[in-house]
Amino acid sequence: MEEKRFADLRYEEAVNKYASIVLAACVMRLKSLPDAEDCTQETFLKLYTKSPSFQDESYLKAWLLRVAVNECRHTLRDRRFHLPLEAAQNLPFPSPEDKQDISDLLMELPLKYREVLWLYYGLGYQSDEIASILGKNHNTVRTLLRRGREKLKIQLGGEPDE
């Protein structure tokens, strides 16, 4: 059987290298570890079955995140028909007990701010790359970053900018 390769990585290497990033992106979006694990698995299944080719690893990583975002959208759409709104909003998300982490504050933000802040600060993507991954306008992403930072500042006890 032929070994599948993606940007000079074997399939297993790609999974080992990027599974935690894809899972984190899904958790940020869904606030549910079991749903995030399902979306992560579906993302890597699509990588294996579609076998796209990539110029380098940065394209592979961006493709995985884009597919993961789409998988999460499908899950959220399906969840609307299966869970009451209250249950979807109160899904548990584990947090460190010894200190409050900035990720706890991120999880309290609306999805549109949470995902752009995580992609920008957590993964180091630039706003134009985030726009491509999320399928949004570049200026929209910049606005979401600015407003998200403002909301985080308020959560941390700072004064809002005028």
- pTM of this structure: 0.64
CA 121 – CA 61 distance, rounded (Å): 16
Total count of domains within the chain: 2
Q: Within this chain, do residues 77 and 136 fall inside the same structural domain, yes or no?
A: no
Pair of tokens at residue 116: 């752009």
Q: Within this chain, do residues 65 and 110 fall inside the same structural domain, yes or no?
A: no
pLDDT at position 127 is: 93
Each of the 162 residues of the chain gets a pLDDT tens digit; together they read 567 888 889 999 999 999 999 999 999 889 889 999 999 999 999 999 998 888 889 999 999 999 999 999 888 876 654 434 443 344 333 333 433 456 677 788 898 998 898 888 878 889 999 999 889 999 999 999 999 988 888 887 777 665
Q: Within this chain, do residues 65 and 139 fall inside the same structural domain, yes or no?
A: no
Q: Which domain holds residue 49?
A: 1-94
Q: Within this chain, do residues 77 and 6 fall inside the same structural domain, yes or no?
A: yes
Beta strands in 63-156 (DSSP E): none
Q: Within this chain, do residues 82 and 5 fall inside the same structural domain, yes or no?
A: yes
Q: What are phi and psi of 9, to 5 degrees?
A: -115, 140
Sign of CA dihedral 44, 46, 49, 55: negative
Q: Within this chain, do residues 103 and 43 fall inside the same structural domain, yes or no?
A: no
- DSSP helix, strand, coil percent of the chain (3-state; round to 5): 70, 0, 25
CA 87 – CA 76 distance, rounded (Å): 13
Q: Within this chain, do residues 88 and 102 fall inside the same structural domain, yes or no?
A: no
